[in-house]
Amino acid sequence: MGMRHLAFALVCLLSGTAQAETLRLLTEEYPPYNFSENGAVKGASVEQAERVMKALDTAYSLQILPWARALSQTENQPWTCLFTTGHDDERDKRFKWVEPLLADRMVMVRKAGSGVNPANVEEAKRFTVGTQREDFSANYLKKHNFPKIDLAADMETTQKKLVSGRVDLMMTSEKTFETMRDQGQPLESALVLEGKLYGLACNLALPDELIAKMQTRLDALIADGTQDRIFAKYGLRAGQVNAGNPAEPTKK
């Protein structure tokens, strides 16, 4: 190999190494946790993720994608993490986890005044339930044999379907529902389900050492009250639901 070819190969190798060491953080439009505003990515989870990465002095990038595409890229591309990701049994072994960015309960939401009023999960199966492709709630609905599931690309589309009457119920987190309601959306809680941890789901090839450092920094944010202050900034309730002991479904 000539010197010119050797130099070119060295440049390619160094470029590839630099690229590999930039951690891609993927997310979706899911306010108030992650959303785009005036060309910037913001949100309660975004602020936590950025604080973690800046404390580690690790190069990273932020990108918003449709959820299903972001999930696929995270699972198949090294040096990639996805948030805010619900941690369930189906996803547990597919990723390495840094959590919780929040702990919350799942809730089925109805259009205000619609009269859709399931007393429990079995009664909810009579209705068409909307959610997003590859979302953890879609896994929940399939696992519990819901016969009428409406899958959309993002939460905004599902919400529009609910308000227009194209679906009867929508699954989301309780905190997200409360934020939408407080913003004046014509929504009501119909059925509160089990607790869930949400965090950063990272590609299995990401080094355990980096995962451990990220977890340590997130733990520190929680311990010193920073996480609760970030929640308050976005109008979210402080404090954590004990997602390790899921609540029985509750009618509201």
pLDDT band at 129; cut points 50, 70, 90: very high
Average pLDDT over residues 227-237: 91
Strand partners of residue 109: 170, 189
Q: Which two tokens stand for residue 73?
A: 């890229």
Average pLDDT over residues 140-146: 94
Q: 190 and 210 share a domain?
A: no
Q: 98 and 132 share a domain?
A: no
Q: What is the pTM of this model?
A: 0.71
Q: 98 and 113 share a domain?
A: no
| % of the chain exceeding 90 in pLDDT | 71
- For residue 94, which of 52, 139, 49 has the smallest C-alpha distance? 139
Query: Which of 180, 195, 210 lies at the terminal end of a domain, its last residue?
Result: 195
Q: 8 and 55 share a domain?
A: yes
Backbone angles phi, psi at 224, to 5 degrees: -90, 5
Residue 23 per-residue DSSP state = E
Q: 112 and 188 share a domain?
A: yes
Report the pLDDT value the prediction gives residue 239, as an integer from 0 to 100. 53
Average pLDDT over residues 17-36: 83
DSSP 82-136: EEEEE--TTTGGGSEEEEEEEEEEEEEEEETT-----SSHHHHTTS-EEEETT-H
pLDDT band at 251; cut points 50, 70, 90: very low
Q: 58 and 108 share a domain?
A: no
- For residue 138, which of 126, 120, 121, 150 has the smallest C-alpha distance? 150
- Boundaries of domain holding 135: 104-195
Query: Which of 195, 213, 236 lies at the terminal end of a domain, its last residue?
Result: 195
Q: 113 and 75 share a domain?
A: no
Report the pLDDT value the prediction gives residue 130, as an integer from 0 to 100. 97
Tens-place pLDDT, residues 92-112: 999 999 999 999 888 999 999
Q: 31 and 77 share a domain?
A: yes
Average pLDDT over residues 225-242: 80
Q: 59 and 10 share a domain?
A: yes
CB atoms within 10 A of CB 153: 15
Backbone angles phi, psi at 42, to 5 degrees: -130, 175
Q: 161 and 206 share a domain?
A: no
d(CA 221, CA 231): 12
> Does residue 224 register a pLDDT over 70?
yes
Q: 88 and 212 share a domain?
A: yes
Overall number of domains in the chain: 2
> Does residue 140 register a pLDDT over 70?
yes
Report the pLDDT value the prediction gives residue 237, as an integer from 0 to 100. 74
CATH of the domain at 184: 3.40.190.10
Tens-place pLDDT, residues 173-221: 888 898 889 889 999 999 999 888 999 999 999 999 999 999 999 999 9
Q: Write down the mean pLDDT value for the chain.
A: 87
